[in-house]
Structure 1
Amino acid sequence: MTKLFLSGGGNAKQTKEIDKEFVSQVNLSKPLLYIPIALKGAISYESCFEWINSTLNPLGVQNIVMWTDLSNKSIKDLNQFSAVYIGGGNTFSLLNDLRNFGFDEVLKEYVENKGVVYGGSAGAIVLGSNIMTCAHMDSNILNSQDFDGLNLIGNYSIWCHYQMENDHLIKSYMNEYNKPVIALSEDTGICLCPDGFKVIGNTPAYVFEFENKRRIESDTFI
């Protein structure tokens, strides 16, 4: 059973391969939960809901429920869903909301109970060990001091929207935070399988382990 899907943050065309893999693990008889709160104040939630439907409806997911308020949500609430899709936006704001409402622990319990979770861009970064991989593109609008992610993928941090010219920023990040990095371009993702993390998409993923940079081709394991 594949539990975690992390996308580099592209558009529907770019993420189609990982989206298809994700949908293959979804029980279509149950609703899917979409959480767009990382875009709070940037884009209307109505537009977010239109986007997720336009992305997943063609792949067979017709019943999508959107949550924009995580207060008082429990594992019982979450267990009614076939999967959880956490969208992109401001990573600092997203992690702050997950922490403040205790939803980070609810989400961890859901994954431990074999729930399926998809994170796109900010939604992927918060699943890693440290979110400061977003600092070059996201504003720390809340002056957050807690940068620890949910740590669901070992010690790795996730770098989304990766381009080759980001390499010097990734090296600086690793020197400061002492974390290895999985870098995903906008048309690349990874999923957690029983054999490890598999790369999905049209371009490779890259694993940075301090002095070592590894290129991981699609359909192979990290």
Structure 2
Amino acid sequence: MKTIIIASTSTLHGSGSLEYLLEELSTFFKATDEILFIPYARPGGISHEEYTAKVSEPFAKINKTVKGIHEFDSPTEAVKQAKAIFVGGGNTFVLVSQLYKHGLIEVIKEAVSNGTPYLGTSAGSNICGLTMNTTNDMPIVYPPSFKTFGFVPFNLNPHYLDPDPSSTHMGETRETRIQEFHKFNPQPVVGLREGSWLHVSGSTITLKGSLDARIFEQDKVPYEVPTGADLSNLK
């Protein structure tokens, strides 16, 4: 049975890394003391070693150790043997390129389908949808495909920002970009605001956190769903 947390972000303004999620993660990862971390998204271009050391700090507070996938001779075997998986944020194009390069897309899908707990934040959440096409990131590399895990039957837009009526910025809003996406693609998009996450348990998908989410469906007016909402029928 799939057990997944799809979080908009790892860090809220004014708090430490994963601090807002630690209580939830303590329960989510209760069956293991070690988490396999996939640092391929490399936020700011930092090294895999630096990124792994950074995320190890908050997990130490809940008595979990973190080991980076780059430390293993075989990334595929690392996933197959993992008791839990965390894919962090950064650049989604870089992340997806590396997952395809190492042959990990199907391996991770199989592991998660068989019950390995999966945590994604930001880019690591983008890839939980059908495709990565609703990422906010720059296409600094070109992955072999935009298709991703499809753990949920829709796309994600982590870090979703509402239009600011007082802003003098004349560029496109997130809502406009998602509407552009829907001119060519049929699947719904869930705009996840900072501090919100989806909890997937089997076929049940529940919005959690303190904020509502914004739902975009092709040829429909966008609408809000409250925290606690069941999104299992969104497809």
Shorter-normalised TM-score: what interval?
0.7 to 0.9
Match of 1:218 in 2: 227
Q: Please point out which of 27, 34, 37 is paired with 1:24.
A: 27
The answer to whether the 8 Å contact 1:28/1:61 transfers is no
Match of 1:157 in 2: 155
Amino acid at match of 2:68: M
Q: Within 5 Å, which residues of 2 pair with 1:143-222? A: 143-144=142-143, 146-154=145-153, 156-165=154-163, 166-194=174-202, 196-210=204-218, 211-222=220-231
Distance 1:108 1:163 in 2: 29
Which secondary structure state, in structure 2, belongs to the residue aligned with residue 123 of structure 1? helix
Which secondary structure state, in structure 1, belongs to the residue aligned with residue 130 of structure 2? coil
Q: Structure 1 residues 46 and 27 mapped into 2: Cα distance closer, same or farther (>3 Å)?
A: same
CA deviation vs aligned residue, 1:127-154 (integer Å, no higher than 9, x gap): 21111111xx322122346211121112
Q: Within 5 Å, which residues of 2 pair with 1:40-119? A: 42-58=45-61, 60-68=62-70, 72-74=74-76, 76-119=77-120
Aligned Cα RMSD in Å? 2.4
The answer to whether the 8 Å contact 2:49/2:68 transfers is no
Residue 25 of structure 1, CA deviation: 2.3
The answer to whether the 8 Å contact 2:94/2:141 transfers is yes
Distance 2:54 2:157 in 1: 23
Stretches of structure 2 that go unaligned for 5 or more consecutive residues are: 164-173
Which secondary structure state, in structure 2, belongs to the residue aligned with residue 219 of structure 1? coil
Stretches of structure 1 that go unaligned for 5 or more consecutive residues are: none
Residue 89 of structure 1, CA deviation: 0.8
Structure with bigger gyration radius: 2
Task: Report the TM-score when normalising by structure 2.
Answer: 0.82
Which secondary structure state, in structure 2, belongs to the residue aligned with residue 51 of structure 1? helix
Query: How many residue pairs end up in the alignment?
Result: 217
Match of 2:168 in 1: none
Amino acid at match of 1:23: S
Residue 178 of structure 1, CA deviation: 2.2
The answer to whether the 8 Å contact 2:43/2:89 transfers is no
Which gives a bigger RCO, structure 1 or 2 (Cα 8 Å, sep 6+)?
Answer: 1
Distance 2:49 2:101 in 1: 24
Which secondary structure state, in structure 1, belongs to the residue aligned with residue 222 of structure 2? strand
User: Identity of counterpart residues, as a percentage?
Assistant: 22
Residue 217 of structure 1, CA deviation: 1.7
